[in-house]
Amino acid sequence: MSPRTPKGQTRERIYRFVRGRLLEGLPPTVREVRDAFNFHAVETAREHLEQLVREGRLAKKKGKARGYGLPTGFKGDPVTIAIPLLGRVQAGELTTAVEDIEGYVPVQSRGTGDLFALTVRGESMTGAGIMPGDIAIVRHQPIANTGDIVVALVGDEATVKRLRIKKNAIELHPENPDFEPIVPDTNELVILGKVIEIRRYIEIPKV
């Protein structure tokens, strides 16, 4: 007999296990849950799963193989998708044309808008922990708030900076004392999107 665990602790882990397996694409069977938690009885695993269903944290298709999953169609459920890693970000339209796609990056999305990724160039944001070569995950949106880190197009050049909205001007602030803020003409500034995540591939090459 496995050692007993205090009140809902094991259940919490089982919930996360199931959720993780869903992200991997194949929901677990009851027996796979049993094995993952070193239970000796299938029923132990099933009772935990049924309890999670009663709590509303999991949903199930009765009698079906691998039928346990997240509650159906719940808004805000995280989903893993692949977003394009763009090479050059050029003026004007953001071309999701296939020619400029250098690869794909998996992200967990809650369906909150168009995402894309690009490689950071230059050292102007090292103070915020953003180094050259880092991958910025960006949500494509034309406006942003003061304090947001944004991808902006000034003239022909794409740049990652922190946005400061002043009374009379919009400023793009670096986070590195060696660089000066940029105060572009409003008509030559295009906000491409807001940086929502930074990644640094130390060893894994881009895909």
Residues marked as catalytic: 124, 161
CA distance 49 to 34: 10
Given DNA, a copy of itself, none, residue 56, with its beta carbon under 5 to 8 Å by kind, binds none
Count of other CB atoms within 10 angstroms of residue 149: 20
Q: Is 124 in the site for a copy of itself (CB under 8 A)?
A: no
User: Which runs of consecutive H residues, i.e. helices, occur in 28-133?
Assistant: 30-36, 42-54
Residues ≥6 apart with Cβ < 8 Å to 105: 82, 83, 84, 85, 117, 135, 137, 199, 207
CA distance 50 to 33: 12
Q: Which is nearer to a copy of itself, 122 or 183 (CB)?
A: 122
CA distance 81 to 94: 20
Tell me the closest approach of the beta carbon of residue 172 to a copy of itself, in angstroms.
17
Q: Which is nearer to a copy of itself, 126 or 159 (CB)?
A: 126
Q: Which is nearer to a copy of itself, 22 or 191 (CB)?
A: 22
Q: Which is nearer to a copy of itself, 20 or 155 (CB)?
A: 20
**Which of positions 9-68 make contact with DNA (CB under 7 A)?**
10-11, 29-32, 39-44, 46-48, 51, 60, 62-68
Choose among 72, 66, 95: nearest CA to 158: 95
CA pseudo-torsion sign 99, 104, 110, 112: negative
**Residues near a copy of itself (CB under 8 A):** 13-14, 16-17, 19-20, 22-27, 29, 36-38, 61, 65-66, 69-70, 72, 78, 80-82, 84, 97-99, 101-110, 126, 129-131, 134, 139, 149, 194-204, 207
**Residues near DNA (CB under 7 A):** 1-8, 10-11, 29-32, 39-44, 46-48, 51, 60, 62-68
